[in-house]
Structure 1
Amino acid sequence: MLPIVLLSVFGIILLFLGFMKSRAVLLPACLLFITLALASNFIDWNKTYLYFNSMMLMNNLAMVFIGIVLISAFMVVALSGHYLEDESAQPAEYYAILLFSLVGAIMMISFENLLMLFVGIEILSVAMYILTGSDKHNLRANEASIKYFLMGAFATGIMLFGIALLYGATGSFAVSGIRGVIGAGSGASLLLYVGLLLLLIGILFKVSAAPFHFWTPDVYDGAPTLFTAYMSTVVKTAGFAALLRLLSVPFNNVYNFWWVILAIITALTLVAGNVTAVYQNSFKRMMAYSSISHAGYLLIGLAALTQQSRQALVFYSLAYSLATISAFGILLLVARERSLNRLNTDNRSDESFDAFNGLARKNPLLGFVMAVSMLSLAGIPLTAGFWGKFMVFSAAVERGMIWLLVVAVLMSAVGIYYYFRVVIAMYFREGTTENIRIAPFYRFVLIAATVLTIALGIVPGLLQGLV
């Protein structure tokens, strides 16, 4: 699989580039490497291949999810120019770890063997543990990193135990082998059900689903904002792609067992994420709970698992990633500007809702980008987020999960409240925000994400037929 090979080689090259006296080449090199990996991803379009002794499978669905992950990574890396100016930062190491983490994400998306799924999750997770604590002088980052590591280790143990039980029940780690045993009616035992449940718990922890979400607010809040953006988009997209493959292929024949459990978890996730977000005063913590709530909306598509679910999950993942990257990109600019102007000495106030007061008046472009991002996350029409929710809601209706749809609609109404807090602060409150200087490429990324969000909101059929 070419993207995996390229990203692994490019990561090593970036480490060597870190020995150069000038850092200026690091960011363009990383962006070029991700672009090459993205281009190589679609070489085998409309073809299906097995790789690495049938441990990984590449088809159109996997390519689309990998494309979303790589586009998200490209945008996040493009917002990282401030690391080149920070004497204490190590951008070569950061970029290399990001590329290595993408290898793990691709393994999660295209696994054909449960062992490859486990390896992919661990590659991605270890990279995120390191990046979360990359700001060594920040106590919040150190706390977030150790908390993420310890809780992630427990989740990994649970998941590995589940894989072992599944092997005991079916005699195979391969997706096709497990599906064959279950389809023949000889594998549906208590051992298999317990193993599946433990495996789901491990992956649901990674995507911040309730009640396995308690790590998310502290980790998102403590991690450097750039890596929070990466965590909430790339990691989540890879996790849901893995869940979709896991539930739709080997365990589709035991749908009657797991759909009730997943539906209950979905409802808990929606309520926990949306209701708790209302009480947050920190924008980053609000976005953390927002991430939890959007995990709930994505879980609706998985719980329904209809023909429309694949299209819905692809569209929603892209819409959510674009809006989230835009929001964190604006937060990065605002927090840095306030810090440089020494408007306060408390880093937490740089990330509060008050930091956006009057932003749209002094910086109309930033205000517009943030407004579109918040409207998309809230699911307002003429944005991609609206059609993403519409598609997953339609899947729930098709499956007859009306009670889950009612919960989702009510929580969507709650979500409008806290997303509009940011819009109101930008347009209707007085603030001390000055004109913020934006680097040309930074500006391009924000505009591109906003244009795509609006374009997908107006013409949602742009992605139709890809999967």
Structure 2
Amino acid sequence: MYPIVLLSVLGIVLLFLGFLKSKNILLPATLLFLALALASNFIDWNQGPFLYFYGMFAVNKVSLTFNAIVLISAFMIVAMTRGFQDDDEAQPAEYFGIMTFSLVGAFMMIGYEHLIMFFIGVEILSVAMYILTGSDKRNLRSNEAALKYFLMGAFATGIMLFGIALLYGATGTFTLTGIQGFVSAGQGPEPYILYAGLLLLLIGMLFKVSAAPFHFWTPDVYDGAPTIFTTFMSTIVKTAGFAAIFRLLSHSFSDIYSFWWITLAGVTVLTLFVGNVVAVYQDSFKRMMAYSSISHAGYLLIALTALSRQTEMSILFYSMAYSVATISAFGVLMLVAREKSLNGRPNESYDAFNGLAQHNPLLAFVLTVSMLSLAGIPLTAGFWGKFYVFSSAAERGLVWLLVVAVLMSAVGIYYYFRVVIASYMKEGTTAKIRIAPFYQIVLVAATVITILFGLVPGFFEQIL
């Protein structure tokens, strides 16, 4: 609750700081505000669970851990913006303010106890992403991505609202606890309205996390948006989205698991197949990362489909591992793409990484570790993330789903290693890339986290 109040106020402060002649204060101020929000997040750590806002918002250790993952990711991403000093047309006060407000929406999605609170959170986060996606007004790809994201997001929101309305019509309540009580009591004489409401609500939520077949917006939006906002979208939005789906299914609909798990399993298989297979055919590293994001949504859906005792830990650990590896990968991409720009446009193809290790060994190492983690190679956090996800499915007995996931993981190794091979085994003209000290610290910190949790995964469980 404290981060919501704090960031709501500090976001307004950031907008007022934009009136100052010097913009240099905006980046350190934003980082300070995020650090304060992270510190305030742990005030209720050993005190909960609590209900706030008239019982519409819940705080417990799980929600606080998701909040921490979101805030740490946001801190790293903001640190890599360098205050948008390289772009004379940028409006850093507005960008930082919108990013701050979007975090408030993410927190609402993570800790909602009332479906109206969830809807408000989704809209705050979504509207912020629509704006940031189209923030590069001179770039037609950015404009197209924002329009496509907005239109498809509007349809998804309508479907989600229809689902919420049907759930209310079936149960007479918007609260997760009230819905759970109705479901456990037997769903009444006509459960079909309840089932239809749940499916429509899930469709809207699956759109937000880029699950197939609701993924069509993802490649174009990720490719067209400025890379820094693509990083924000692919980590924070996905973490908040899966936290929301997990909360909905585990709190309210676990008693009708036999109804929805088949649907979710089908979506999982399709998401894994589309994300991994289509990623193989991409020539752009950024579009590959977009399809990679879809594939990782599939792995997280495995844990939700199983909904076992391991699911909670699986989603938390996987979200952390995926976020830091993705931030590292996009962080290196932003540096290399600007250095290898073609006709004034960043070069985001695989060829841009040719020979990277010759003059930039640190960047090549950071990129390699992130790719290894995303591929699920041992001694990285990504390996244990997949291990926990697969363990939750094994606990439920979904062996056939594990076979599909393992096969798709093998496909993923191919496209992740393409960039590693380009960095170390191909000749290129990449000169020494100058890295700002704080930017370098963020990349090293993300790499250390990936390796640390790969070597000592039990440390994360001890924190919880």
Deviation at 1:84, TM superposition (A): 2.4
1:35 corresponding residue in structure 2: 35
Q: Aligned letter for 1:158?
A: I
1:304-453 alignment to 2 at 5 Å? 304-339=306-341, 344-345=342-343, 347=345, 350-453=347-450
Asked if 1 retains the 8 angstrom alpha-carbon contact of 2:279 and 2:291, the reply is yes
Q: Secondary structure at 2:252's aligned position in 1?
A: coil
Q: Aligned letter for 2:127?
A: V
Asked if 1 retains the 8 angstrom alpha-carbon contact of 2:176 and 2:251, the reply is yes
1:129 corresponding residue in structure 2: 130
Q: Secondary structure at 1:50's aligned position in 2?
A: strand
2:273 corresponding residue in structure 1: 271
Work out the CA distance in 2 between the residues paired with 1:427 and 1:82. 31
Work out the CA distance in 2 between the residues paired with 1:186 and 1:89. 53
2:98 corresponding residue in structure 1: 97
1:183-222 alignment to 2 at 5 Å? 183-187=184-188, 189-222=191-224
Q: Aligned letter for 2:447?
A: T
Asked if 2 retains the 8 angstrom alpha-carbon contact of 1:64 and 1:466, the reply is no
TM-score, normalisation: structure 1: 0.98
Q: Secondary structure at 1:464's aligned position in 2?
A: helix
Q: Secondary structure at 2:63's aligned position in 1?
A: helix
> Which stretches in structure 2 are left out of the alignment for 5+ residues?
none
Deviation at 1:346, TM superposition (A): 6.4
1:108 corresponding residue in structure 2: 109
1:460 corresponding residue in structure 2: 457
Q: Secondary structure at 2:222's aligned position in 1?
A: helix
Work out the CA distance in 1 between the residues paired with 2:277 and 2:192. 36
1:289-300 alignment to 2 at 5 Å? 289-300=291-302
Q: Aligned letter for 2:147?
A: I
Q: Secondary structure at 2:174's aligned position in 1?
A: coil
1:176 corresponding residue in structure 2: 177
> Which stretches in structure 1 are left out of the alignment for 5+ residues?
none
1:25 corresponding residue in structure 2: 25
Work out the CA distance in 1 between the residues paired with 2:413 and 2:157. 35
Q: Aligned letter for 1:254?
A: I
Q: Secondary structure at 2:45's aligned position in 1?
A: coil
Work out the CA distance in 2 between the residues paired with 1:165 and 1:354. 51
Asked if 1 retains the 8 angstrom alpha-carbon contact of 2:83 and 2:92, the reply is no
Q: Secondary structure at 1:172's aligned position in 2?
A: coil
Counting matched residue pairs gives: 462
Work out the CA distance in 2 between the residues paired with 1:30 and 1:39. 14
Asked if 1 retains the 8 angstrom alpha-carbon contact of 2:187 and 2:194, the reply is no
Work out the CA distance in 1 between the residues paired with 2:187 and 2:120. 28
Q: Aligned letter for 2:406?
A: V
Work out the CA distance in 1 between the residues paired with 2:196 and 2:317. 32
Pick the aligned partner of 2:247 from 245, 255, 261.
245
Deviation at 1:338, TM superposition (A): 2.1
Asked if 1 retains the 8 angstrom alpha-carbon contact of 2:184 and 2:255, the reply is yes
Deviation at 1:335, TM superposition (A): 1.3
Deviations 1:152-178, CA, capped at 9 Å, x for gaps: 000000000000000000000001110
Work out the CA distance in 2 between the residues paired with 1:186 and 1:278. 45
Work out the CA distance in 1 between the residues paired with 2:197 and 2:463. 33
Asked if 2 retains the 8 angstrom alpha-carbon contact of 1:210 and 1:268, the reply is yes
Runs of 4+ more than 6 Å apart = none
Deviations 1:407-458, CA, capped at 9 Å, x for gaps: 0000000000000000000000000100000001000000000000000000
Q: Secondary structure at 1:345's aligned position in 2?
A: coil
Q: Aligned letter for 1:367?
A: A
1:251-266 alignment to 2 at 5 Å? 251-266=253-268
Work out the CA distance in 1 between the residues paired with 2:233 and 2:249. 23
1:45 corresponding residue in structure 2: 45
Asked if 1 retains the 8 angstrom alpha-carbon contact of 2:213 and 2:270, the reply is yes
RMSD (Å), alpha carbons:
0.9
Work out the CA distance in 1 between the residues paired with 2:441 and 2:187. 56
